[in-house]
Amino acid sequence: MLSTSIIKTLLYRTQIRLASSSSSIDIADFIRGMSSAKKLKSESSTINKPRHVRMKERGRDPGLTSRINLQVISNGYVGTCKSLILSNDQTNYLFNCGEGTQRTLQEKNTIWETKFSKTKHIFVTKKSWDTMGGLLGLCISLKETYLNEITFHAPCDVIDLLKHWKGLEAFPNVTLEQHDYDKAEFKDDCFKINAIALRANNSISNTGNDLSQMKKFPEDLVYAYLCETHPFPGSLSAELCAFHGVPPSELRSRLKNGEDITLPDGRVILSKDVTLPGEPPVKVLILECPSLNYLDSIIKSDLNSHSYHTIVHLAPHSILNNETYRSWMKSIKTTHHLFLDETQKNVHIEAIYRYQTQLNYIDDGIFPLLSYHNSLKEELKLPESVDNITYGLTSTRIPIRPILGPDNSKLVVLQPQNYIDTLLENEEFKQTFTAAKQQLQAMHEIAKTGHSYPEIIFLGTGSACPSKPRNTSGILIHINDTNLFLLDCAEGTVGQIRHFYGDQSDDILSRIHFAYISHMHADHLGGLYGLIQQRRRAFENLGHKYEKLILLCPNKYIDVGEKQWNYFSNKHSFDDDVHVIFNRTLTNGLPSLTNIGGENTNEEKFLFQKFKSIGLHGVQTVLVEHIYDAHALVLRHIDGWSLAFSGDCKQSNDFIQAGQNVDVLIHEATFETGLEVYASQMRHCTMAQAIDVGRRMNAKYTILWHFSQRYAKIPFLSERKDEEDSDKKQTKRPDNVCISFDFMRIHLSDLPRACELVPVFESMFYDEWLNMKKRQTRREQEPDYFAKNTRMIESKRKFMSGRTSPSNSDKTQSTTKNNTSPRQ
């Protein structure tokens, strides 16, 4: 017979994991579900809310969680942020949130089942764009989750940084707070967390590391976070109760509460004899050491008096390998040292490589392989563990409860051949591609004889929030060998540049001399500050003298830009980095210099000379209907080519007139054909409307762009209807329209081939395309559906823009104020 201790051990080590599945809902179902606020509230409160949220609403304690994991989100490779998550069944605790963090978290949803929507606490280790550049995007992405409160933990005033974005106040179901470690440590149901202040050598005073005696948020302040779990009590074992003859009655309840009982036969059963062993508190240290100047502060702090399960080191590669730093590490009592070393190769978003590999198989001219493709497809070999040191890569996990060692079993390695094999299993794709392959190859050979410029690189083709296949807005235009023009710059644009250009990224960044921001939505400008800072670093790395970026932008960006520069930059001001040109000043095109000796201002002369130096004789902005000060752009070059860019807008007659006879129209196509009412309410275009703009503009080619993430894989480019045909018969779609994808490289000579690829793309994602086709058919069977719901759609639009709020909005309010708008 097994002893009691063996039974306890076996039961304790047995773990059962349940996998949960997720479901999606289309736009028609989404709108239909909003037919009444009462219905929405009743359904969502009982079905969609997480279990622990429902329990708290009913006044019940969800109790201590039985699983706590530490997981690496990104290790700094390819310019990513060094970021990680502590997660349990109820909450995510995110440490550092640089650009692209929310997109990487979506990848983790499927790899480790890390629920993005559970992110309730965001910890920042230092005041830097590298650790905070993704905060705005993350907050907006969380606006519709049931975790309606976000708490920041940082060595700086995060609310002060975010308060000028309307994107936070516009959603009354989000409350923003910042924990003050000067007053008390942070505690919740799972952790007790304390912030240990670290200062550089030249800033250490007699106050040492005492936050209460320190000036509020000095510039060099860095936080190390000491995270300690609560003791986990042992649980009552039904098997041990049965072993001791305790019947399933109130006696077991008394044993569970810690009482000893006496059975009818006179035997005394102690509570500890039928209870599984509990767990003592476990400590994890998140340690940021920006430079060796902080080492004295680390040594003199309270960090050295604890024993840790894991210490996560967020230091640069040079410090991680410094002898002094290694000597200090050996003096600390810990089971694991986890290094986040930016030099260690790893794949942090596998989806972008998978889709690009499949698209490259279709056309290697328009879809070149990403720069790190060949190096990452090799088997990733981690350095051997020495002195309990582990190198953390994306998907590295260390279980904290139960206490286990590092787990790299789900490390992602690129498998290009598997991606191709999966593609070829699609019979619809094989038939379509085989039929078109010969023609496409012939067109490719013809295209090679075309001009090298302009070259258009799509860095982001989605709207609102990033998805696995599509980042948000960003387009890079190679005007010539030495000058690049950037159209919009969403969060993650620099990361996209590094993925596409690899080791040439610094050279590319230094050649971006012009940037255009169409309007004040975060999915069009959220990455601009980071790009300008990386651009300045590129000049320094290359040993070149810095040249200001010529920035065409809305008037209000001045306020946002100056606040960002004042907040983050101590060395350079906003005016040191950029030369601002307001979009409004170019609504009549470039100024004429017929009066050089007379009335022309210095600014007009500067504009003319700058654009003339890159061959642009026509640069015109057009005021369009979307939000305040939204503009479209038309470029005309002395080599004969021309390009029109819509930004975000409804159909615009002024834009159509300004862009007459352009070679390329890049037009937003946020929604599919059939959602015109919804698109109008949101001040966007459907795909049919975008195509119609190209037809009326007499554009040679139209590239559709800025798709709702409902169409992340493939937009539904339905065949248009001929309005003059009384039978409303379907006609062939225009042959001068193509679909954009991230990392798509287009020359003018490639456009005929790109348009011929549309049916191939649709067959590539045939299941998704077929589902959208079915939804369109359903809508056509209810022709007055959207007319009936106009009032409801208007109500939703007002709620999303913050002008009205639901019935429970008085319970939760945003603590920030704004000057700009949320993204859409």
Q: Which tens digits make up the pLDDT trace of 112-158?
A: 667 778 888 999 999 999 999 999 888 888 876 656 788 999 999 99
Contact 295, 324 (CB under 8 A): yes
Where does 190-271 have alpha helices with state H?
238-243, 250-256
Q: What is the pLDDT of residue 815?
A: 38
CA distance 798 to 343: 47
Contact 544, 510 (CB under 8 A): yes
Q: What is the pLDDT of residue 541?
A: 95
Instruction: Please name the amino acid found at residue 744.
Output: M
Residue 204 corresponds to which tokens in the numbers above? 């250490």
Q: What is the pLDDT of residue 115?
A: 79
To 10 degrees, the CA torsion angle through 141, 147, 153, 156? 50
Residue 707 corresponds to which tokens in the numbers above? 């798709």
Contact partners, residue 357, CB within 8 Å, separation at least 6: 369, 373, 414, 416, 419, 420
Helix, strand or coil, per DSSP, at residue 195: strand
**Could you write out the DSSP letters of every residue in 499-560?**
HHHGGGHHHHHHTEEEEE--SSBHHHHTTHHHHHHHHHHHHHHHTPPP--EEEEE-TTHHHH
Residue 488 host element (H or E): strand 484-489
Q: Could you tell me the domains of the chain?
A: 4-10+234-274 (no CATH), 27-233+279-345+380-401 (3.60.15.10), 455-590+618-785 (3.60.15.10)
Contact 123, 84 (CB under 8 A): no
Residue 473, classified by CB atoms within 10 Å of its CB into exposed (0-12), middle (13-18) or buried (19+), is buried
CA distance 620 to 633: 6
**HSE-up of 714 (CA within 13 Å, CB side)?**
22
Q: Is the pTM of this model over 0.75?
A: yes
Instruction: Please name the amino acid found at residue 298.
Output: I
Low-confidence stretches of the chain (pLDDT beneath 70): 1-64, 108-113, 144-147, 164-173, 202-215, 378-380, 593-599, 718-732, 783-824
Instruction: Please name the amino acid found at residue 162.
Output: L
Count of C-beta atoms within a 10 Å radius of residue 609: 10
CA distance 52 to 84: 23
Q: Are strands 664-668 and 701-705 parallel, antiparallel or unpaired?
A: parallel
Each residue's pLDDT tens digit, 470-523: 999 999 999 999 999 999 999 999 999 999 999 999 999 999 999 999 999 999
**Could you write out the DSSP letters of every residue in 769-800?**
HHHHHHHHHHHHTSTTHHHHTHHHHHHHHHHH
First to last CA, the chain: 66
Q: Are strands 175-178 and 149-153 parallel, antiparallel or unpaired?
A: parallel
